[in-house]
Amino acid sequence: MIKLQVIGNLGKDCVTNTVNGKNVINFNVAHTEKFRDAQGNQKDKTIWVDCAYWTERTGIAPYLRKGTQVYVEGTPEVRTYPKNDGTTGASLTLRVLSVQLLGRSEGGDGAGGGYNAGGGYNA
């Protein structure tokens, strides 16, 4: 099994859906690395990860709001797609096994904690 761990911020509020009778929470996470280029200038590189959290416990959904810092862990997959300019693009998706809230979004209430695939809530 390949496992990916990501710490980042949600790009927008999550969306909860039911597919074939099962709940899925979809959200995207931006992880930004800071580095210096050859001239010594600081640069940022952001990687977006599309996340799908299949769970019966959707109580975390109200806390998955734009700007919230999270830790997610799961099984990664790379998907390719045709871009408008005719080239091929790629996206990184994650089938989430565990989510932990690390920080609050701007204007948030500071609630911390998380859900994990085992069904527990970490306060």
Residue 103 CA: distances (Å) to CA of 2, 13, 34, 77, 84: 27, 15, 20, 26, 36
Burial of 116 (0-12, 13-18, 19+ CB in 10 A): middle
Identify the CATH number of the domain in which residue 34 sits: 2.40.50.140
Which tens digit of pLDDT belongs to each residue from 48-94? 999 999 999 999 999 999 999 999 999 999 999 999 999 999 999 99
Domain count, the chain: 1
What residues make up the domain containing 28?
A: 4-122
Which tens digit of pLDDT belongs to each residue from 98-113? 999 997 655 444 444 4
Residue 80: per-residue pLDDT: 93
Q: Phi, psi (5° rounding) for residue 85?
A: -85, 5
pTM to 2 decimal places: 0.78
